[in-house]
Structure 1
């Protein structure tokens, strides 16, 4: 009887493969510490490959915003309350490869970072979840196991929805072949916890000072944009926007200290700590151009899909 069942299984398997089973979508997991460029890199890689994109960290930031808006400051004592808020809320990530951004695009050579808008309960909170008060609290939110489990469900559902369909591309010999669609997700535990079987895992790293300078530049650009916009509208908001520099936005040195504290919290937290997956490719982008890191990851993915490389000259 067992032999018959085994033979039937082999026959069924052969028939399934003969008729073509759906190929598993290609998943790229990009992990790394705060401000290492994961989000902008992952978005550009997704655009380069025609994949979907999910910013997993934005889910934790949305959870943090929910906590702040609900007056929750002690996460350990009110974790269940926040989990309930997460379960009752909706989060959507709008990946807009061809749309313009309200803030200047990050452009390096031929590359433009696509825009991503984060909707929390249908409200665009893309800018609010990047503010200093959220930055200071998000590590505490992410350290709770129950909250992480609730966020993980959201992350996986969003990634599944973002997967693209298979397309035809050229392989290394120049022949046209059908390749699976895919999704790029960035975070801190994507390759170790969320998608441990991801086809390509990247650990993106940089020095604390390099990351601090990038974050300060981003904050300063947003501040200047707000002031310019307010001034062009001739409203009373122009002056307050300019006056926020010394209080709301810290110095590069302060940001570096905050990032080091965040690194320590992420590495030493009990649940899903920041780790380099054993099969991850480590890329230190401290001295790399944005173009170099994006194209190197995209070509690594092409290699693993059996496709021709496109950027060996970068």
Structure 2
């Protein structure tokens, strides 16, 4: 199948909006590959923290990103052969990832890596610029969001369930700061892609959101 004919569903949205869960479930239902683009920035952040690479050293961070040994297997996120699925969800890693995602050299280094995930029979990609920058010609673009309060509650539950300590007020503050960084950064700011379907999941379950996305995708195939 020619590369350009491989279908892509791009799901963008802010931190803790549920887009990762929804995207993963949609990929499973369709038998598509899955790309968690945010994990690539978190993996880069984890490597930077481990190596003591400073945020100010954009060139060194871009080098880390360019040679990132990342892979996704059975719901697990691997850095080389190490399972770091839980490690990259720590708040320290997430905050670092949000900051380095604003660096043009890092974003450029990860651009080709993300395109490489587009393989038959199809791809579901979630992130913040999947529909606007990485896959602007995706068959379906979704901008998935939720209220800050709903997202903070989800993040709190996620962290507690995984054994991390968490404070709801701190999470609210962090989410608002990340939203500001992602929305107002100069490179690939967080925004709905042209033609994207808007989906507010504040009062929806993940499965309800999945059904909505699958319905939209089925409609694109008919039109």
What TM-score, normalized by structure 2, do the two folds share? 0.95
Aligned counterpart for 2:192 among listed residues 257, 273, 276? 276
Equivalent position of 1:197 in the other structure: 137
The change in CA–CA distance for 1:22 and 1:123 in structure 2 (over 3 A counts) is closer
Cα offset, 1:136, TM superposition: 1.9
Task: Tell me how large the CA RMSD over aligned residues is.
Answer: 1.7
d(CA) in 1 for partners of 2:60, 2:51: 10
Equivalent position of 1:93 in the other structure: 72
Aligned counterpart for 2:216 among listed residues 286, 300, 309? 300
Whether the 8 Å contact between 1:219 and 1:249 is mirrored in structure 2 is: yes
Aligned counterpart for 2:207 among listed residues 286, 291, 297? 291
d(CA) in 1 for partners of 2:4, 2:219: 17
Equivalent position of 1:215 in the other structure: 155
Structure 1: gaps spanning 5 or more residues: 1-19, 97-115, 165-180, 224-247, 308-314
The change in CA–CA distance for 1:118 and 1:22 in structure 2 (over 3 A counts) is closer
Whether the 8 Å contact between 1:41 and 1:290 is mirrored in structure 2 is: yes
Higher RCO by CA contacts (8 Å cutoff, separation 6 or greater):
2
d(CA) in 2 for partners of 1:287, 1:192: 26
1:107-122 matched pairs, under 5 angstroms:
116-122=75-81
Cα offset, 1:92, TM superposition: 0.8
1:239-258 matched pairs, under 5 angstroms:
249-258=165-174
What TM-score, normalized by structure 1, do the two folds share? 0.68
Equivalent position of 2:104 in the other structure: 145
Equivalent position of 1:45 in the other structure: 26
Whether the 8 Å contact between 1:132 and 1:249 is mirrored in structure 2 is: no
Alignment coverage as a number of residue pairs: 223
Whether the 8 Å contact between 1:27 and 1:182 is mirrored in structure 2 is: yes
Whether the 8 Å contact between 2:41 and 2:100 is mirrored in structure 1 is: yes
Deviations 1:220-269 (A, max 9, x none): 1111xxxxxxxxxxxxxxxxxxxxxxxx6231121111101100000011
Whether the 8 Å contact between 1:216 and 1:252 is mirrored in structure 2 is: yes
d(CA) in 2 for partners of 1:23, 1:192: 17
**SS in structure 1 of the partner of residue 141 of structure 2:** strand
Equivalent position of 1:60 in the other structure: 41
Equivalent position of 1:102 in the other structure: none
Whether the 8 Å contact between 2:22 and 2:210 is mirrored in structure 1 is: yes
Whether the 8 Å contact between 1:32 and 1:188 is mirrored in structure 2 is: yes
Structure 2: gaps spanning 5 or more residues: none
The change in CA–CA distance for 1:80 and 1:302 in structure 2 (over 3 A counts) is same
The change in CA–CA distance for 1:21 and 1:215 in structure 2 (over 3 A counts) is closer
Whether the 8 Å contact between 1:36 and 1:206 is mirrored in structure 2 is: yes
Tell which structure's C-alpha radius of gyration is larger.
1
Whether the 8 Å contact between 1:93 and 1:117 is mirrored in structure 2 is: yes
